[in-house]
Amino acid sequence: MSLAPTSRSKFNLKNASVLLVVTGLQSLDVLVQILVGFGAKNFSKCETVGDARESLKKTPFDLIIIDAVIGEEDGYDLMSWVRREAPEINRYVPVIMVSGHTARSKVVKARDCGAHFTVAKPLTPIVLLERILWIAQERRPFVNTDCFAGPDRRFKFTGPPVGSAGRRRDDLSANVGEAKEPNLSQAEIDSLMAPQKVAL
């Protein structure tokens, strides 16, 4: 990918090879039009998980965009396969998951399958561009363990990539240390995540 870290206007995907795994011609057309606006010219389009796997076995890609639901199939399973079983040349490629359903559980599932980002449908060019820029500038190392394969989720307190909006103020230092509290049960986590009434 060719880009200047501080300028969206100089961002260009003209030399990038992009795999789109999306069901439906209309969805594919919208995505292609957005990416053409970013300069992309080299696309491979797949409407099934099987076709996507075959493309990933034959062709190296610079960016993959996967729909969470691919017809009757599961985009999350394809995402896991990419990180665990795809040829090495494609195993570490940036992946953006797109989904019409972005409940917390689905976003967490995409994250845990190794996606860099989840982008909600309907897609907007600015949101997709910001996610691609973030991926291109950040260059997170990959983690490959028995329970996770994908971009490292740990953050050092070094601030956002140059030219990007800020991250959380409470990013962890590189030395996280021992856990200070016990893990919560799922019921406790759910109760913390539920909407709470507040006095305004």
Q: What is the CATH number of the domain that holds 126?
A: 3.40.50.2300
| Burial grade of 69 (CB within 10 A; 0-12, 13-18, 19 or more) | middle
How many domains is the chain built from? 1
CB 58 within 8 A of CB 88: no
In a domain, 93, yes or no: yes
In a domain, 123, yes or no: yes
In a domain, 128, yes or no: yes
Lowest mean pLDDT among 28-32, 68-72, 80-84, 151-155: 151-155
In a domain, 96, yes or no: yes
In a domain, 77, yes or no: yes
CB 47 within 8 A of CB 96: no
In a domain, 49, yes or no: yes
Element (H, E) at 136: helix 125-138
Per-residue pLDDT band for 62 (boundaries 50, 70, 90) equals very high
Per-residue pLDDT band for 51 (boundaries 50, 70, 90) equals very high
N-term to C-term CA, the chain? 46
Task: Kindly state the average pLDDT of the residues 173-191.
Answer: 54
The share of the chain scoring above pLDDT 90, in percent, equals 32
pLDDT at 95 over 90: yes
What pTM, to 2 d.p., does this model score?
A: 0.71
In a domain, 170, yes or no: no
Q: How far apart are CA 41 and CA 35, in angstroms?
A: 8
pLDDT at 10: 60
pLDDT at 179: 54
Name the residue range of residue 13's domain.
2-151
Pairwise pLDDT comparison (80 vs 23), residue with the higher score? 80
In a domain, 38, yes or no: yes
For 132-153, the pLDDT digits (tens) are 888 887 777 788 888 888 887 7
